[in-house]
Amino acid sequence: MPTLEASLVVMDVREFKTFRELIHRKTGIWLRDGKQAMLAGRLSKRLRHHGMTDFATYAAYVARAQDDGKELAEIINCVTTNKTSFFREMHHFEFLMRTLVPELMAGAALGRARSIRIWSAACSTGEEPYSIAISLLEALKTGHVPGSVAPSPGQSLSPPGGWQIEVVASDIDTVVLATAAQGIYDRESLEDVPPVMQNKYFLRGKGNMIGQVRVKKEVAQLVKFKRINLMDPRWALEGKFDAIFFRNALIYFNRETQEAFLRRMLGYLNSRGYLILGHSEHVPWLNDSVEALSNTIHQLRAQKRPPYTGPERRRRPRQ
């Protein structure tokens, strides 16, 4: 019996709803009506991998698979979108250098810890967390906008003055995390990065690596990659963060899931910490907990002291 190319197999409404519910239940991602062709195209590679010719057979296979979630992980990798670039939405990185770092430096002058922790949620292939790490280094060393100062010969890229930098970078997609951890990119990906910064923070490939660049180890060691499924009851995170980047991801979730994720993230922010979203993401329903500094940058509101509910206090009579 001749087999059809899996990419030409049609996914009917019932099959679409089966996979949509599975994906939503496991990841929180919601595929709205009209995404059948997109989902069929992305899952077609799994049909080819298993030698299957229809999605009903594949759905039955996924339902009974006892492989420690490996096939489900493959589905998630197929469905997630990973569009990103270095210093995308540059004003966010300028905010780190011109606002966040000076605030933390002022706090350190008063005796607070010399540490900066930022979480890059939905980090994709790593351009965002590396851009964050570079921005923090630039701000601590020069106080200037990235790329405005050329490195001195032999200048160390390590954080100065005993400062500790940690950028936690997470994603649900294991494939993009593997790419991110390598820190190797096509040279074209740096087209919008100033030449000074390219030379300062990246190594150019030689031999069979010509045309590629690698993030320097002093930057790479500041970033810790880990897989986090935001639907999990417990996130593999410790401590709190000065800022959380969760950019251009809300579009994949319905309103209920968006609010559940964001309110949970706020619990991981330090006092007056920052939540940074993408350019088209508006969350007015979060205004009870954050103050919008711009369309995309939100600061955790100061906690109000609860009203006093103890015994009535008597005022002392004036002498």
DSSP per-residue string spanning the chain: -----GGGPPPPHHHHHHHHHHHHHHH-B---TT-HHHHHHHHHHHHHHHT---HHHHHHHHHH--STTHHHHHHHHHH------TTSSHHHHHHIIIIIHHHHHHHHHTT---EEEEEESS-TTTHHHHHHHHHHHHHHHTSS-TTSSPPPTT---SPSTT-EEEEEEEES-HHHHHHHHHTEEEGGGGTTS-HHHHHHHEEE--GGGTTEEEE-HHHHTTEEEEE--TTSSS-S--S-EEEEE--S-GGGB-HHHHHHHHHHHHTTEEEEEEEE--TT---GGGTTTEEESSSSEEEEPPPPPPPP-SSPPPPPPP-
Average pLDDT over residues 248-276: 95
**How many CA atoms are closer than 13 Å to the CA of 68, on its beta-carbon side?**
0
What average pLDDT does the segment 124-138 reach?
A: 96
- Band (pLDDT 50/70/90 cuts) for residue 150 is very low
pLDDT at residue 261 tops 50: yes
pTM above 0.75, yes or no: yes
Q: What was the pLDDT predicted at 32?
A: 87
Q: Which two tokens stand for residue 77?
A: 């990798």
Averaged confidence pLDDT in the chain:
87
More confident residue, 275 or 309: 275
CB 124 within 8 A of CB 101: no
Decide: 221 and 183 in contact? Cβ < 8 Å: no
Per-residue pLDDT of 95-117, as tens digits, reads 999 999 999 999 999 999 999 99
Q: What is the maximum alpha-carbon separation in the chain?
A: 104
Q: What is the pLDDT of residue 65?
A: 84
CB 223 within 8 A of CB 181: no
pLDDT class of 309 with cuts at 50, 70, 90: low
pLDDT band at 1, cuts 50/70/90?
A: very low
What pLDDT sits at residue 66?
81
Predicted confidence band of residue 251 (pLDDT cuts 50, 70, 90): confident
> Is the pLDDT at 154 greater than 70, yes or no?
no
> Which has more pLDDT, 142 or 319?
142
Amino acid identity for residue 108 in this structure: A
Better-predicted residue by pLDDT, 28 or 155: 28
**What pLDDT score does 247 carry?**
95
Query: Can you tell me the distance from the alpha carbon of 180 to that of 76, in angstroms, rounded to the nearest whole number?
Result: 17
| Burial (Cβ within 10 Å: 0-12, 13-18, ≥19) of residue 127 | buried
Lowest average pLDDT, out of 56-65, 179-188, 257-266, goes to: 56-65
- Contact between 135 and 97 under an 8 Å Cβ cutoff? The reply is yes
- Known catalytic residues are 42, 171
Q: Which residue has the tokens 């999990």?
A: 232
Alpha-carbon span 9 to 52, nearest angstrom:
10
pLDDT, greater one: 300 or 194 = 300
| Mean predicted confidence (pLDDT) in 179-205 | 92
Instruction: Give the residue-averaged pLDDT of 30-48.
Output: 89
User: What pLDDT is recorded for position 147?
Assistant: 45
Which of 73-82, 101-110, 275-284 is least confident? Answer: 73-82
Of the listed ranges 20-24, 148-152, 223-227, 239-243, the least confidently predicted one is 148-152
The pLDDT of residue 155: 63
Segment 80-99 mean pLDDT: 90
